Amino acid sequence: MLSYRHSYHAGNHADVLKHIVLTLCINALKEKEKPFLYLDTHSGAGRYLLQSEHAEKTGEFLSGINLIWQQSDTPELLNTYLSVLKRYNPYDNLKYYLGSPLIAKQLLREQDKLNLTELHPTDYPLLRQEFSKDKRAKVLREDGFAQLKSKLPPESRRGIILIDPSYEIKDDYHKIPKALVEAYKRFATGVYLIWYPVVSRTQTQKMIDQIVNSGIKRISQFEFSVKPDNNQKGMTASGMIVINPPWKLQEQMQTIMPWLKNILDTEKTGNYLIKELVPE
């Protein structure tokens, strides 16, 4: 149940897409002075050593963040994302990749709050250590889906909620639409970011259809693939479902996605999708 370790996959093309969307959304909420909550349901360890046994075994970061790290003409819209990574890699040597919690930690302001949960017995202590001196953060070893009930709505009535399970437990595909409906009832104005992998297109699409048919409004989709859908083992694509996307996000991704495809789709077998699934 808890065998998944993100350290094998840190910095891959799916992380790149997820964290670009995350940084753009955080920046959008920071345009107003009023505080907000960042809630992360499946937080992981926080940071990942790219020279570790796990990362080097798969080498997934080599076809992800490593390719972007080598570029000198990155779009200005990626500046926030890359500047956060450079704080942990100050000598241009790509040593660490940051998970969503540490990216948020660097970007959130003094008045903002973080609520982080992780169940894995190895990753939870690492995450707790990363935030041991951060008074803005609560780090809990609890079920992340349960946090959508207990922590919403936030006192500030503003927030970004990242739902990012491993999907190693197939029930996650069924849990997410139900959890979203419950969370939306409590906090309809929150910005919800749902990451998904494409291993089985049928399974992924069924989940997306359930979200689209849930009655929730303002839903966008951003998907990036490096290979066409197939029946072989492994992830060919990943995407982000965004509920209540900041008004500039779609336009920003129209600039970013073609550039990402050009850099990350090295075999020229992939594609990208930018779509409004449900309007206002």
Q: Is the pLDDT score of 149 beyond 80? A: yes
Confidence of residue 79 (pLDDT cuts 50, 70, 90): very high
Residue 56, pLDDT above cutoff 80: no
Q: Which domains does the chain have, with CATH numbers?
A: 6-278 (3.40.50.150)
Indicate if the pLDDT at residue 182 is higher than 70.
Answer: yes
118 annotated to a ligand binding site: yes
User: Quick check: 49 and 55 in contact, CB under 8 A?
Assistant: yes
CB 98 within 8 A of CB 83: no
Q: Is 229 marked active-site? A: no
List the end-to-end C-alpha distance of the chain, in Å, as a whole number. Answer: 38
CA angle 242, 243, 247 (to 5 degrees): 85
CA-wise closest residue to 46 among 105, 86, 87, 91: 105
* Token digits of residue 92: 């241009």
Q: Model's pTM, two decimal places?
A: 0.96
Three-class SS state of 98:
strand
Distance in angstroms (rounded) separating the CA atoms of residues 4 and 1: 8
Helices (H), 197-248: 201-212
pLDDT greater than 80 at residue 214: yes
Catalytic residue among 164, 171, 209, 229: 164
Least confident range of 28-32, 160-164, 169-173: 169-173
- Whether the per-residue pLDDT at 86 is higher than 50: the answer is yes
pLDDT band at 230 (very low <50, low <70, confident <90, very high): confident
Residues 244/189, Cβ–Cβ less than 8 Å: yes
Band of the pLDDT at 1, cuts 50, 70, 90?
A: very low
Is residue 100 part of an annotated ligand binding site? yes
Report the range of poorest mean pLDDT among 7-11, 176-180, 261-265. 7-11
Show the DSSP H helices in 108-232 as ranges.
Answer: 123-130, 144-150, 172-186, 201-212
Class of residue 246 by CB neighbours under 10 A (exposed 0-12, middle 13-18, buried 19+): middle
Backbone phi, psi, residue 136, to 5°: -80, -15
Give the pLDDT mean for 61-66: 93
Give 205's contacts (C-beta < 8 A, 6+ positions apart).
none
Check whether 42 is labelled as a binding-site residue: yes
Flag whether pLDDT at 242 surpasses 60: yes
